[in-house]
A = this chain, B = another copy of it.
Amino acid sequence: MAQIRMETNILGANDMLAAKNRRIFKEAGMLVVNLMSSPGSGKTTLLEKTIEGIKGRIRLGVIEGDLYTDQDAMRIENKGVEVVQINTEGTCHLDASMVEKAWRRLAHHPIQLLFIENVGNLVCPAEFDLGEHFKVVVLSTTEGHDKVLKYPLVFNQARAVVLNKIDLLPYTDFDMDAFSRDLQLVNPMVKVFRVSGRTGEGIDQWNQWLLEEVGKQHF
């Protein structure tokens, strides 16, 4: 019983901080996207390709969440974009407080689109509102189509799903019909983008959608 109460309190406190973040982000006129996936689905590679495609057209920032290491932040920095690394030191998700601290280090930059790359984990990050405008889930074809029903919460919460590693599709047993059917059950309104972070296939459509969503923030 004590455990359940504690979790409620933690989530309650997080929700309050997330609401505060959301106000700050809105005042900054900035679209904030919380990017979630399993380890190794290709979030950072997707971000690299996204940055290459829209860097000249929009001002970008990235908050990188990892248990340890700053490898991903260095990859993003190499693309010439402002980035802050959060190391959770073993904690399995980002929370609103971590994001608020990271944001302070970016706040003096005029950012229009901020990506928060969450810790690689399909379970825990889904439970923590960071104050983002919406969540995007990256799933790679090599993980299998059955992940939608096995991890329904994260897919249910997503505004969009990026199906990554589409170039590896012919070498997998990924069942596209089952994937679409399960996603329809869990989240009928979700947008789906089929991309390859490696070859760049499908990145244009994803980038176009992001630009449209950024455009909506100012009205």
**What is the total number of copies of this protein in its complex?**
2
The contact of A10 among B3, B68, B122, by CB within 8 Å, is B3
Contacts of A151 in B (CB 8 A): 39, 67, 120
Give A119 to B146 CA distance when docked, in angstroms.
Answer: 14
Q: Indicate whether A147 sits within 8 Å of B92 (C-beta atoms), given known contacts A6-B2, A119-B123.
A: no
The contact of A150 among B10, B71, B153, B171, by CB within 8 Å, is B71
Q: Is A69 located at the chain interface by the 8 A CB criterion?
A: yes
Q: Is A97 located at the chain interface by the 8 A CB criterion?
A: no
Stretch at the interface among A19-27, A52-60, A137-145: A137-145
Tell whether, in the assembled complex, residue A150 and residue B66 are in contact, meaning their CB atoms are under 8 Å apart.
yes
Q: Indicate whether A147 sits within 8 Å of B90 (C-beta atoms), given known contacts A6-B6, A123-B67.
A: no
Contacts of A175 in B (CB 8 A): none
- Residue numbers of A with Cβ under 8 A of B are 2-3, 6, 10, 38-41, 66-69, 71, 90, 92, 119-124, 140, 142-144, 146-147, 149-153, 165, 167-168, 171-173, 198
